[in-house]
Amino acid sequence: MFGDAEDADKNMTRLDELTSPPATHGGAPLPLWSSLSRGGEDLGEFLENAAMALHWMGPDGSILWANQAELELLGYSREEYIGHPIAEFHVSQPEIEDILRRLREKEELRDYEAALRCKDGSIRWVLITSNVYWRDGEFIHTRCFTKDITERKRREESLQQALARLDTERTLFREVIRQMPLGVVVAEAGSGAILIRNPYLESLTGRALPPHQKLREVQGLHSFHPDGRPYEAHELSGWCGRTVHR
């Protein structure tokens, strides 16, 4: 799908043609190009040593060039990376096929999330921004910027795991309260609004307690702080005026 070594060689030849200066009929570089090439050296140094990972990809999906940041991001040497099909380094093949299809259809990608496989087998999550350099209708190469978001993804995954654990613990807590052989109610400290109550409590009161009913409207309760300390009478007067302590 992405071509063989011969195709990669052709692409490297195309890259050489793109970066080689034009010559006069006598073989000497044009004066204007000589001036531009000095600036080109600075530009080349800028791209090669930029802090963001950059690469060019040919129309067949092979990597034509990559800067040092991209090589360090994934841990490959130039020989292990440049000239190889980009698909070798994508964890999801449908994902890279989608990227290539959209680029070939002249779509510009912005912050496309993808997973890349490093040399040591670890996974790097990245955002890819890329478009294609077209010349006379011909796909020459992509211009791809790769932003590492691995740490952000790890934080997001940790947060999702924590929320899942919290949801499990909340469900367990509610189930324990529901099955306790005595009436239990959990209320908001500031307002006294009932948040959780169990069936046994409702059997004691003789009626179902609607959500967010105030504790002051329910008699016969012992009230405790979250740390287990019982409320003093003066603490309850504001929102549990009719609570009876036994």
What per-residue confidence (pLDDT) applies to 147?
A: 96
| Nearest to 114, CA basis, from 132, 83, 133, 87 | 87
Q: How confident is the model at residue 70 (pLDDT cuts 50, 70, 90)?
A: very high
Tokens of 108: 């510009």
Q: How many residues does the chain have?
A: 246
| Listed range (25-39, 93-107, 176-190) with the worst mean pLDDT | 25-39
Instruction: Find the mean pLDDT for residues 177-200.
Output: 76
CB distance 52 to 69 below 8 Å: yes
Question: Rounded to whole angstroms, how far apart are CA atoms 63 and 53?
Answer: 13
Question: Rounded to whole angstroms, how far apart are CA atoms 15 and 140?
Answer: 9
**Residue with token string 């007067």:** 237
From residue 189, give the alpha-carbon distance in Å to each of 104, 194, 214. 61, 9, 11
**233/122: higher pLDDT:** 122
Instruction: Supply the DSSP string of 38-103, one letter for each residue.
Output: HHHHHHHHHHHT-SSEEEEE-TTSBEEEE-HHHHHHHT--HHHHTTSBGGGGBS-HHHHHHHHHHH
Q: How far apart are the first and last CA of the chain?
A: 80
What per-residue confidence (pLDDT) applies to 241?
A: 37
What per-residue confidence (pLDDT) applies to 23?
A: 42
What per-residue confidence (pLDDT) applies to 35?
A: 44
What per-residue confidence (pLDDT) applies to 202?
A: 73
Question: Rounded to whole angstroms, how far apart are CA atoms 15 and 212?
Answer: 70
Cβ atoms within 10 A of the Cβ of 99, count? 24
14-56 residue pLDDT tens: 444 444 444 443 444 444 334 445 556 777 788 888 889 999 9
126-151 residue pLDDT tens: 999 999 999 999 999 999 999 999 99
Question: Rounded to whole angstroms, how far apart are CA atoms 78 and 234?
Answer: 75
What per-residue confidence (pLDDT) applies to 215?
A: 62
Percent of the chain whose predicted confidence (pLDDT) is above 90: 44
**224/124: higher pLDDT:** 124
| All domains of the chain in start order, with CATH | 5-148 (3.30.450.20), 180-246 (no CATH)
pTM: 0.57
CB distance 225 to 209 below 8 Å: no
What per-residue confidence (pLDDT) applies to 221?
A: 59
Which run of H or E residues covers position 195? Answer: strand 194-197
What per-residue confidence (pLDDT) applies to 87?
A: 97
**113/13: higher pLDDT:** 113
